[in-house]
Amino acid sequence: MSFRKTHKNIISLFMVMLLVLSNFNLAFKNKVFAQTGPELLITEIMVRAVSGTDYYEFIEVYNNSNAPIDIRDYKFTYPSSDIDVSKIIQPKGVLVICATNTTTLSAFNAFYGTNLTEDQFVNFKITSGISNTPPKTIVLAKDTGEEVCRATYNSGDFDIKLSTTYKYPETGIDMILFGQKQQPTPGVVSPNQVPLDQNSDTQAPTITHTPITEADNTNDLIISANITDDIQILSAKVYYRKVGETAYKSITMQKNNDLYTAVIPKSELSTQGIEYYIEASDGRNTVTYPSDINNPLKVVIKEVDNVQPKVSIISPQSGEWIENKRPQISATIEDSSGLDLTTLKIYLDNADVTDKANLTYEDVEPKKFVKLEYNPVEDLAEGEHVVRIFIRDLSSLKNASDFTWNFYIGQETYNLYFGQIHAHTNYSDGLGTPEEAYDYAKNVAKADFLQ
């Protein structure tokens, strides 16, 4: 083989490879790519603009891809209509498709009070128009038949000159209902309707929060903050832990307009104290409050006494029968937070005898233990007597104890009862039914009980 022939073969092979690579690069450059969701999104539908006519009904389409798209390369498979006009939608751009080819751009702008340009508007006859008899699903597909996105509307989603809006699906091609019976905004798409442009979002969320420094262990700890962002808030959480621990637990904050709230259950609170910080993200930027999470906010948790004062009976015992008609009535009262003696009340048979009772306690404050005694100055009648003691403690909750017991004066009497404590019927080895046995015991034998 000659050198000249070999040289020609090498040059030919190089030219083939160069051509293949060139076509590959061209194909790659023309590839339509959407980071999240379909390449085209149906973001708004005006189902019924004017009663009885289709002149101003429209479908709004958003280019969710990284490349210009000619709407002529697509069609509606429902309602069945091939898009036979050319209009380029730039990346992240919007095109308003008017459902009739007789409505001009100027008439459309006048009807909706908009300022759409020629690049944002196209009109062509959608076969049979946009149906006013839901439920219906608008289906946008490529000319090849491959479905790109679907948007469904129901009767409660629209009205005359009130549109239906949609947001992008994170998976699949079915648009998510965003707004029902909305004032129409043809040509304008809310940032929440489309995926976040990761390259354009440079502003982090803002957290405005008043730190909580003190709480108690009787209530849930509520943490609130105003969180805003120029585009959207995708997540907001409170991270918390007991002082001395290393691992954090997290709670997702609930949104009410710009106010976000999280509730730490009181069962999670510790008198060791709680440390916490707030985190918010818009999908690209994450911010915390405080900014240095190695120095979290600290909450002092106070232990609050929620236990009522304890009353212990000394005498007479509850339910006791005694013969002494002037018995000493005594009891002890104790509480770890101290007793508020100004609230003490002692009643005997509903009569207030507080001023006649004697109190014994240590001469220290607060008084955590008291013994009380009351000696009746007159004989008590035979029968039942009721003692009631009421008192509050000195805790912040002012826990109250309202304690009652009874005793009896006189001789305890007994009654005599007659009956059968163990009987058999024909259910085992006896005679007669249980009904017959009970009837006989009650009406013939006059027994008080039968078992």
Q: What is the pLDDT along the chain (451 residues), one digit of tens a residue?
A: 444 444 445 445 445 444 444 443 433 334 455 567 899 999 999 999 987 778 999 999 999 998 999 999 999 999 889 999 999 999 999 999 999 999 999 999 999 999 999 999 999 888 888 999 999 999 999 998 999 999 999 999 999 999 999 999 989 999 999 999 999 999 999 888 998 765 566 789 999 999 999 999 889 999 999 999 987 787 899 999 999 999 999 999 999 988 999 999 999 999 999 999 999 988 778 999 999 999 999 999 988 888 999 999 889 999 999 999 999 999 999 999 999 999 999 999 999 999 999 999 988 899 999 999 999 999 999 999 999 999 999 988 899 999 999 999 998 777 888 888 888 988 888 888 989 988 998 999 888 888 8
Question: Does residue 199 sit within a domain?
Answer: no
Domain end call among 282, 302, 322: 302
284 & 323 share domain: no
Question: Does residue 405 sit within a domain?
Answer: yes
Nearest CA-CA partner of 123 in 96, 145, 144, 148 = 96
**CA distance to 13, 15, 94, 348, per residue, from 179 (Å):** 59, 57, 18, 69
The answer to whether 39 and 64 are in contact (CB under 8 A) is yes
Q: Looking at residue 213, what is its pLDDT?
A: 96
Question: Does residue 8 sit within a domain?
Answer: yes
The residue assigned the tokens 């429209």 is 58
Helix (H) or strand (E) holding 436: helix 434-443
295 & 322 share domain: no
Question: How far is CA 98 from its chain centroid?
Answer: 41
Question: Does residue 179 sit within a domain?
Answer: yes
The answer to whether 215 and 269 are in contact (CB under 8 A) is yes
Question: Does residue 256 sit within a domain?
Answer: yes
The structural domain count of the chain equals 5
160 & 23 share domain: no
48 & 150 share domain: yes
121 & 97 share domain: yes
Q: Looking at residue 375, what is its pLDDT?
A: 96
Helix (H) or strand (E) holding 25: helix 3-29
Question: Does residue 17 sit within a domain?
Answer: yes
The answer to whether 195 and 168 are in contact (CB under 8 A) is yes
- CA-CA distance, 213 to 425, in Å (whole number)? 74
125 & 181 share domain: yes
CATH number at residue 138: 2.60.40.1260
139 & 269 share domain: no
Q: Looking at residue 35, what is its pLDDT?
A: 62
- CA-CA distance, 296 to 240, in Å (whole number)? 9
Q: Looking at residue 10, what is its pLDDT?
A: 46
235 & 258 share domain: yes
Question: Does residue 439 sit within a domain?
Answer: yes
59 & 168 share domain: yes
- CA-CA distance, 446 to 451, in Å (whole number)? 14
- pTM (2 decimals)? 0.44
Domain range spanning residue 148? 40-193
254 & 278 share domain: yes
The answer to whether 370 and 334 are in contact (CB under 8 A) is yes
26 & 103 share domain: no
Q: Which DSSP state fits 424? A: -
Continuous H helices in 34-115: 105-112
Domain end call among 273, 302, 331: 302
56 & 81 share domain: yes
How many residues are listed for the chain in this entry? 451
Q: Looking at residue 363, what is its pLDDT?
A: 85
CATH number at residue 389: 2.60.40.10
Question: Does residue 198 sit within a domain?
Answer: no
The tokens describing 417, both together, are 């009862």
Domain end call among 302, 332, 352: 302
